[in-house]
Chains A and B, each alone.
Chain A
Amino acid sequence: MSAPAAVTTTVTTPATVAVTESVTTAAAAPLVSPALQVQGLSKAFNQQPPVFSNVDLTVAPGQAVAIIGANGAGKSTLLRCCVRLLEPDAGQVSIAGKPFSELHGKALRQARSQVGFVFQKHQLIPRLSVLSNVLHGALGSQGGWRMWRQAWAPSNERDRAYHMLEQVGLAHLALRRADTLSGGQSQRVAIARALMQTPRLLMADEPTASLDPSSGMAVMELLKQVTQSNQIGLLMVSHNLEQTMQYSDQIVGLKQQRIALNSASRECCREQLRAFFSTGATHA
């Protein structure tokens, strides 16, 4: 997967020395804002040692960045802090060039409407139809009662939701109840729902963890295709190193509260990953 823009990432080594490295993944210089820019992000819970501190991260449009790390390393917490589902203790976050950190209420909701989110468990509403679930993906940018059910939705939004289902290959299941789908199908619907937002950034928290290997590969292939073709930045958390190497442009490893690995996927070898997980990785 190639990213069309230059990516700048700051790596804080275990020795806490900040090193800035530039990884140019395509020839063209970026003229658009990064999909995500994180600077100095820190988070601790209830006077405990920080889950992570001083994390810097950039995701360019169309680029896929994977976060890896042992259980409890703070990967999911980092994702939630980026959209302020959890409040970070320090640091700045910008999504599509828009600073996120000082926003509240309506302004925060509007800023979040630039983001799509795919969770480990798809988080669909089981009693509703597939098409209604996809439609809900646009609630960030267009709320109101007509968007609650597919039967009440404006025609253009309904058509757009159907088109999203076509993109993930499930248009024929549009009127089926969501709780009748398989795990793989549900996750594809979750991706269609995330795309309804026309996001600049897609976050995926272990999107294949509850799927069998073949469904997992299909979902990753779909994520790769839709984010590349729509120039959406992808930030994903994964435990599957094979998928991480195959489907991401950049691998970021969280360990002992810091970014201990930051490497372009094509330059990252198995030995590097093995060394990352073997030396002092925290296990939950």
Chain B
Amino acid sequence: MPNATPQRFAHNSLWHAGAFTFAMAVLAWALYGTDFSISRLIAGVPNMWTITGEMLPPDTSRFNAIVSAIITTLQMAIAGAAIGIALSIPIGFLAAKNTTPHPWLYRISRAWLTMLRTVPDLAWALFFVASVGLGPFAGVLTLIVDTVGFCGRFFAEAIEETDPQPNEALAAIGAKPVDRFAVAILPNASASMVNTSLFSLEKAVRSSVVLGLVGAGGIGVELAVSMEMFRYDQASMIILLVFLLVYGVERISNAIRTRIL
């Protein structure tokens, strides 16, 4: 007689029931702590309609000023992402196990990247606004830090995932580490790094909109002022142009990605 077919689940049902109950308890705790209320949501629906009504039609009277702020936002995103991506290459090299010159440099650079990534960009924006003053320069500095935290980690992982054998082939003939990195590791990691860079540019465009809310320049300042003055028709114009900017950057980024990869 053949052996019995194995059971579908390796763990006993008591363990599963306990895990499910715990997950539900955590969710209930989170909802309670945030005053989550369906009745308040329903009561707020008329207000949503009112605000939406006030948003339409969008106000075009400040079109030129808004477009100018949108261009500043795009410039912030491009400058911040480009400098951040350039800085991420050497940091990624230090933070990858297979290329770092010393284990301590690996640990320090990984910890540094984690710190850059875990502090929210709004906190960095407040820090830079306080340091260098209001305006887009503080926003660019924020985006550089944010991009290094994002790209540095993914560049390091792309470097770690490269096939070690071409590198070994060059080591066998006496090539220097810098030459091996440039010809055996970087070209093999480049597809993934280009992909990450394009995502970071899209992310920088989205972030740069929000950064203006805390005074770091760009269209966010215009949006904050319109909302505070209850000029929802101006706010809707800004949101519409922000949508077009983000959508346009994503389309261009997708086209580049398709062509390069």
Contact = CB atoms under 8 A, between A and B. Distances in A.
B176 A109 contact: yes
B174 A127 contact: no
A136 B183 contact: yes
Which residue, of B166, B171, B174, B183, has the highest number of chain A Cβ atoms within 10 A? B174
B192 to A, nearest CB: 12
Contacts of A111: 174
Given A127-B190, A143-B179, A148-B182, A137 B173 contact: yes
B191 to A, nearest CB: 8
Given A85-B168, A125-B166, A127-B188, A145 B182 contact: yes
B178 interface: yes
B172 interface: yes
A97 to B, nearest CB: 17
Interface string B153-186: 0000000000001101111111110111011100
A109 B175 CA distance: 7
A259 interface: no
Given A143-B176, A143-B179, A147-B179, A128 B166 contact: no
Task: Output the residue of B173, B175, B187 with the most chain A CB within 10 A.
Answer: B173
A144 B36 CA distance: 62
A257 to B, nearest CB: 24
Interface in B187-241: 187-188, 190-191
B173 A117 contact: yes
Given A136-B170, A148-B182, A121 B165 contact: yes
A117 B169 contact: yes
A251 to B, nearest CB: 24
A77 interface: no
Nearest to A149: B183
Size category of the A interface is 35 or more
Contacts of A115: 172-174
Q: Which of B166, B172, B175, B176 has the most CB of A within 10 A?
A: B172
Interface residues of B, number: 21
Contacts of B171: 85, 112
Nearest to A199: B173
A198 to B, nearest CB: 11
**Chain A CB within 10 Å, residue with most, of B168, B171, B190:** B171
A139 B176 contact: yes
Contacts of B187: 125, 127-128
Nearest to B190: A127
Nearest to A113: B174
Contacts of A132: 183
A157 to B, nearest CB: 13
Interface string A142-179: 01110110000000000000000000000000000000
A119 interface: yes
A251 B182 CA distance: 38
A123 B168 CA distance: 9
A119 B165 contact: yes
B169 to A, nearest CB: 4
A125 B188 contact: yes
Given A123-B166, A143-B179, A148-B182, A108 B174 contact: yes
Given A125-B188, A127-B187, A112 B179 contact: no
A232 to B, nearest CB: 13
A156 to B, nearest CB: 18
Contacts of B178: 143
A112 B180 CA distance: 14
Interface in A93-136: 108-113, 115-117, 119, 121, 123-128, 132, 136
A4 interface: no
A123 to B, nearest CB: 4
A141 interface: yes
A88 B17 CA distance: 55
For A116, A124, A148, which residue has the most chain B Cβ atoms within 10 angstroms? A148
A187 interface: no
B182 A113 contact: no
A54 interface: no
Contacts of A109: 174-176
Interface in A31-90: 80, 83, 85
Which 3 residue pairs spanning A and B have beta carbons closest together?
A112-B174, A140-B174, A139-B175
11 contacts: A80-B172, A108-B174, A109-B174, A110-B174, A112-B173, A115-B174, A119-B169, A123-B165, A137-B173, A139-B183, A140-B175
Given A109-B176, A124-B166, A144-B179, 10 more contacts: A83-B172, A85-B168, A111-B174, A117-B172, A119-B165, A123-B165, A123-B168, A127-B191, A128-B187, A140-B174
